[in-house]
């Protein structure tokens, strides 16, 4: 595995701490990019590795759709004939699904023109994946199935982001074996702190046994209630223990973020990142920090891989100038 590739697992065994919300918004913001924030567009693969399929439904993708999912991919024999692209939902279908879901829920409103994605691909999941933990248990190379399946498409994406279930079972181990970075969302509430040492121990074990490239990408404080002493306390404790690893951007607890899946699109697309739209603004802020960290970590390795989007544009003969005003 290339140690400089951006493959980030969004992981915490604690349930409901905004893993999915963070994975979905980060993947979307990094894919779309925002020149005025210094985020270039990028080709992004979002992998839903949770049988709950919440990342898939965040885009209005119907979980009952009979499409191949990450489950089928993990269960395929590893004989080199896999084509991950056959399992992906591309930007056009994702856009259709989002717009359809928005129309269903808002029959009197016009679909906002910004409700579209161009560079985002989803490897969906559904409840069938819940059998995978048991079925994988007896298979050879059970911890590294995802890593093997992704190997052929590694160079087709700038960033890969994996949403994991709330456990440290085989699915999460597969995600961490395939990743080089782990992003940990921490809910600003008391019990959040208790699970952190267990999580850090598990990361150390994975580093030792399965993937010595795995590193902490960052810790994101989520569902922060302003004016709450408890939220401030938890944030303070997390910063005390994890220092620079904690993102400056804190995600507030907001209705707009909770309601976004109902409208079938991540909040970073539904709302412009303005002062009034704090949910979108903060997730865009997190994406900006994430982009800066990606650049900094790549610089540590002395590597700056060519942007996949730019490479593809040149191959198509598109004008290059669309990237000229974006610092990378
Ligand atoms: N900042 C926020 N403000 C308000 N609600 C939020 C926020 N972030 C997430 N939520 C809501 O909280 C719930 C849990 O979030 P989410 O599904 O992202 O967590 P999770 O860690 O992926 O959960 P699970 O462990 O079940 O996979 C969801 O209903 C989501 O819409
Ligand atoms: Mg989730």
Nearest residue (CA) to ligand 1, atom 11: 258
User: What per-residue confidence (pLDDT) applies to 297?
Assistant: 87
Whether 51 maps to a domain, the answer reads yes
Return the minimum-mean-pLDDT range out of 9-18, 139-148, 262-271, 300-309. 300-309
Whether 292 maps to a domain, the answer reads yes
Which CATH number belongs to the domain containing residue 211 in this structure?
3.40.50.300
Whether 98 maps to a domain, the answer reads yes
| Ligand with the closest atom to the CA of 261 | 1
Cβ contact 151:78 at 8 Å: no
Q: How many domains does the chain have?
A: 1
Q: What is the pLDDT of residues 24-55, one digit of tens each?
A: 999 999 999 999 999 999 999 999 999 999 99
pLDDT band at 180 (very low <50, low <70, confident <90, very high): very high
Strand partners, 44: 120, 159
Using only the alpha carbons of the chain, give its radius of gyration.
19
Sheet-wide strand order for 181-187? 120-123, 44-48, 159-163, 6-10, 181-187, 215-222
223 lines ligand 1 (CB under 6 A): yes
Q: How many CA atoms lie within 13 A of 181 on its CB side?
A: 20
Atom of ligand 1 nearest to the CA of 255: 4
251 lines ligand 1 (CB under 6 A): yes
| Ligand with the closest atom to the CA of 11 | 1
Predicted structure pTM score: 0.95
Whether 321 maps to a domain, the answer reads no
Strand partners, 3: none
3-state secondary structure of 81: coil
Query: Sign of the C-alpha dihedral, residues 204, 207, 208, 212?
Result: negative
Q: Average pLDDT for residues 116-120, to the nearest whole number?
A: 96
Return the minimum-mean-pLDDT range out of 3-7, 12-16, 199-203. 3-7
DSSP one-letter string for 211-252: -TT-EEEEEEEESB-TT-HHHHHHHHHHHHHHGGGB-S--PB
Whether 326 maps to a domain, the answer reads no
Whether 159 maps to a domain, the answer reads yes
3-state secondary structure of 198: helix
222 lines ligand 1 (CB under 6 A): yes
Whether 319 maps to a domain, the answer reads no
Whether 97 maps to a domain, the answer reads yes
Atom of ligand 1 nearest to the CA of 21: 18
Query: Sign of the C-alpha dihedral, residues 55, 59, 64, 65?
Result: negative
Task: Note down the domain range covering 227.
Answer: 6-301
Nearest residue (CA) to ligand 1, atom 15: 18
pLDDT at residue 4 tops 70: no
What is the distance in A from the centroid of ligand 1 to the CA of 52?
12
What is the distance in A from the centroid of ligand 1 to the CA of 328?
31
254: number of Cβ within 10 Å? 18
Pocket test for ligand 1, best of 20, 26, 256 (most atoms within 8 A of CB): 20
15 lines ligand 1 (CB under 6 A): yes
21 lines ligand 1 (CB under 6 A): yes
């Amino acid at each position: 595995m290339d140690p400089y590739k951006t493959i980030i697992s969004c992981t915490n065994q604690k349930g409901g701490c905004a893993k999915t919300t963070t994975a979905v918004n980060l993947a979307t913001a990094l894919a779309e990019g925002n020149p005025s924030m210094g985020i270039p567009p990028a080709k992004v693969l979002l992998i839903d590795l949770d049988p709950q399929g919440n990342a898939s439904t965040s885009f209005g993708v119907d979980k009952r759709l009979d499409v191949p999912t990450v489950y089928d991919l993990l269960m395929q024999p590893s004989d080199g004939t896999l084509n991950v692209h056959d399992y992906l939902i591309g930007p056009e279908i994702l856009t259709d699904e989002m717009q359809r879901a928005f129309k269903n829920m808002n029959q009197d409103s016009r679909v906002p023109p910004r409700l579209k994605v161009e560079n985002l691909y989803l490897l969906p999941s559904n409840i069938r994946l819940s059998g995978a933990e048991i079925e994988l248990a007896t298979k050879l190379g059970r911890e590294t199935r995802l890593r093997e399946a992704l190997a052929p498409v590694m160079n087709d994406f700038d960033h890969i982001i994996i949403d994991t279930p709330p456990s440290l079972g085989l699915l999460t181990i597969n995600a961490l074996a395939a990743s080089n970075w782990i992003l940990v969302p921490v809910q600003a509430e008391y019990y959040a702190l208790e699970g952190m040492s267990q999580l850090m121990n598990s990361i150390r074990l994975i580093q030792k046994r399965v993937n010595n490239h795995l590193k902490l990408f960052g810790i994101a404080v989520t569902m922060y209630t302003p004016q709450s002493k408890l939220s401030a306390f938890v944030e303070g404790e997390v910063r005390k223990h994890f220092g620079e690893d904690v993102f400056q951007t804190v995600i507030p607890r907001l209705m707009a973020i909770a309601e976004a899946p109902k409208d079938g699109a991540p909040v970073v697309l539904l709302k412009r990142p303005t002062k009034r739209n704090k949910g979108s603004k903060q997730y865009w802020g997190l994406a900006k920090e994430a982009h800066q960290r990606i650049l900094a970590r790549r610089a540590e390795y002395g590597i700056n891989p060519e942007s996949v989007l730019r490479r593809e544009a040149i191959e198509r003969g598109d004008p290059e100038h669309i990237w000229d005003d974006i610092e990378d």
